[in-house]
Chains A and B, each alone.
Chain A
Amino acid sequence: MSEATRTGATPYDEMHSADGAVRPHYQPYERWLHEMPRELIDRKRSEADIAFHRVGITFNVYGAEGGKERLIPFDLLPRIIPGSEWRELERGLAQRVRALNAFLADIYHGQEILRAGRIPADQILDNAQFRPEMKGVDVPGGLYSMIAGIDLVRAAGADGRGEFFVLEDNLRVPSGVSYLLENRKMMMRLFPDLFSRYHVQPVDHYPDLLLETLRAVAPAGVVDPTVVVMTPGAHNSAYFEHSFLAQQMGVELVEGQDMFVQDDVLYMRTTQGPRRVDVIYRRIDDDFLDPLAFRADSMLGVPGLMRAYQAGHVTLANAVGTGVADDKSIYPYVPEMVRFYLGEEPVLNNVPTWMLREKDDLAYVLDRLPELVVKEVHGAGGYGMLVGPASTKAQIEDFRQRILAAPEKYIAQPTLSLSTCPTFVEAGIAPRHIDLRPFVLSGGKQIRMVPGGLTRVALKEGSLVVNSSQGGGTKDTWVVD
């Protein structure tokens, strides 16, 4: 195990170097903050809260008590990334997503990587996320995950430099991009003067890039494709984002009930009669897409959609079956995919991972539960995981029993000391752990992304869980030159 990921190392501080000096890219900000009276900052904070509420940028939390709509806390202190660092990240992200798409195309066609023995075949073929319905289906451009969200974390290295690691790939329906865009809008509205001190690379063209991406993957022969955004409905936790993106792209926001399939062609119901749909940016899981193909009890989908899709009459973005590439049990093999499909060494590393279905790994991990993070292979959103150092003895023992009952359902990783960024908290400004989710768009031949991504911050002191469903907040993310 590398020094960078060792448990207990002092976290990398994004703003200050080890000797306490302010890093060069944060110096103009630091001077600005120094000139800023605390009362003004407090006033801006409440201004931001009111604005977010009024605009209704809220987040629905499943099972939350009473009101479903909650605000994701927004922190006014930006996360700043130097341009040179970002260019390296961008290279690594494009490489990784290219490999993941190549892997998906391979898995649903020739399965070369299995025949080459680089990944155990049962890991793929027995995986619940593998969709046999997709075998032999040709998708436009050979692309499966046109919109990918790659979660990055940075841990401190021995040399005091932070190294970025990929924590997780999100290749199904990654969300959060609307917060990235709204956070920037909010910062520019609250502190316009800050933007004269920095050359912050713009992000607001994301909806344009997304629309171009979606149009590029229309079924062959369609000249002026009709693109729609498909949502499970207004009660979905990410509904704000669905409607936001549809509006920004100028396309219809549809629900399953708005569409029907006739002769394997998909139509939506409009005030002028049925209209053909060519590309669906769907923000709904595979299982709910089509009651005839998947979950029969789904009221959210469109009967016959899968057949229209298999016939190549409509494109789904992302494709059906991408889950087999972002499953936590497949994650350890991604660097191998980069080597296999691209013949390159990965630019971005994985976090070292133990697979508990392996006997040796299991024994090693069970010995060290208090210091490790254990995750359910199919878990998401920070649920179903054990953060050893932050858990009580009883919680650890409880989790040990769960692991022993079904070790293949778990992976383990060292407790990464995620980098910290100064954050406004009740008592003033204090370091809090952060991660970064850039959004990677693949359409046609190009892979593109807006600079930076969504920075999530764990607002509770010492907490490593940044998920918004568990009390995480967000920050504006600046890539500066």
Chain B
Amino acid sequence: MSEKYHNNFLKEVEEMVEEGEWVKMCMQCGVCAGSCPLGPHWAHPPQEIFMMIRAGKREEVLRSDSMWMCTSCYNCVVRCPRKLPITHIMHGLANYAHRLGLSPKNQPTQQFATLFWNNLAQTGRVNELKLSLGIYFKDGFAQGVKNAMAMQSVGLGMVKAKRLNPMELFGGHGVKDKTGFHAMLKKAKEIEDRRKNFA
């Protein structure tokens, strides 16, 4: 992909990343970094990511786990004096890095995001029990049992409060028109892949 852009990473981001055309608007004030609830955990806060993009640091940006720290709280968006949709740019960069296979190995939020999407794409609605078990068991069976045991009291409390149904394991909620729903998502992905040259 980088060949196509003659190593112009800014141009690549503008064309391939969701809301990427906004990157050049950043004026480096750093309000986003100071507004982020997970600010201390970013190796490169948003304004630094923007500058790195402009400086052509393709590998450093796409392999960074910084974007994966975004909790989608939109604090940076509403405070940005230039009104950059920072949350979406971070989402876009994370998605792009993931699609290129460059996101950090075993990044927990990337793994959770994949579990979440696959979970909803299957039936059209989220199955919370399978989603929770999926995250507990992501590092294998033994670790999964350990994780599930550690969260046992929470799970039982939820069942007691009628906010978790053990029977969800054997089916659960979903849309009725699964055929149409799956065909729709397949087509949407096809179009996006074509537009972004992933096809």
**A interacts with B:** no
Task: Give me the interface of B with A, judged by CB distance under 8 Å.
Answer: none
